[in-house]
Amino acid sequence: MNAEIELKLRIRPQDIGRLETYDIFRKYNNGTLERHLLISTYFDTRTLDFIRNKVALRVRQKDQQIIQTLKFDSRSEQGLSRRPEVDWLLSAPVVDLTLAHKYLPTALQSFDSTDLKPVFETRIQRTSIQLNWPASTPTTIEVAIDQGEICAGPHKEAVSEIELELISGDEDSLHQLHRELQQDFELEPSDISKAALGYQLAKLADKP
């Protein structure tokens, strides 16, 4: 199980296009720039037992890869979160709860894959840039520029954000990069994950 450390920042949609050529990114880019369409489906029981136990389960299609991820509750303050998670590669876009069973809290271990249903979906165009950030400790930060939407039934929520994920090195570098970005962009730290937004929409979709 890995611990994801990231800083999530909302950005105005009209500013997204300026980010790829932003001076700081060009200066420290380690040569890695990738673009992907990420289609993620989140699963839960009909009574939403997973989210009530602070667990999120998703299956994501990323190009030819299909990845199942189990995410656990995190603490988020001013956009910075630490979230334990575990991933599995799948051969088909079908949730496989047997893989996750040993990581589940006791309250969820009686469920199997047939008890789960799709709750909402996210469709995100992501541009990823890895930076070799100048710090006393060798530090790598992945910048994910996300634009798209979250969908639950007829309800949709637009997504326009930057995620700064610490791959290795000094955690304070995330805040340093945030301060650099803040000089040129209107940014708002966000403590609400895409999963949390999706569940909010799903609750609206279930109302008569």
DSSP character string of 52-91: HTTEEEEEEEETTEEEEEEEE--EEETTEEEEEEEEEE-S
CA atoms within 13 A of residue 120's CA, in its CB half-sphere: 26
pLDDT tier at 204 (50, 70, 90 boundaries)? confident
Record the pTM: 0.92
pLDDT, greater one: 48 or 20 = 48
Which residue would you say has higher pLDDT here, 73 or 69?
69
pLDDT at 208 over 50: no
Q: For the chain, what is the domain count?
A: 1
Contact 125, 34 (CB under 8 A): no
* pLDDT value of position 205: 62
Q: How confident is the model at residue 81 (pLDDT cuts 50, 70, 90)?
A: confident
| pLDDT tens digit sequence for 21-64 | 899 999 999 888 899 999 999 999 999 999 999 999 999 999 99
- For 141-194, how does the pLDDT look when each residue is reduced to its tens digit (9 = 90+)? 999 999 999 999 999 999 999 999 999 999 999 999 999 999 999 999 998 899
Q: Rounded CA gap, 132 and 76, in Å?
A: 25
Q: What is the CATH number of the domain that holds 30?
A: 2.40.320.10
Q: Which domain holds residue 195?
A: 2-206
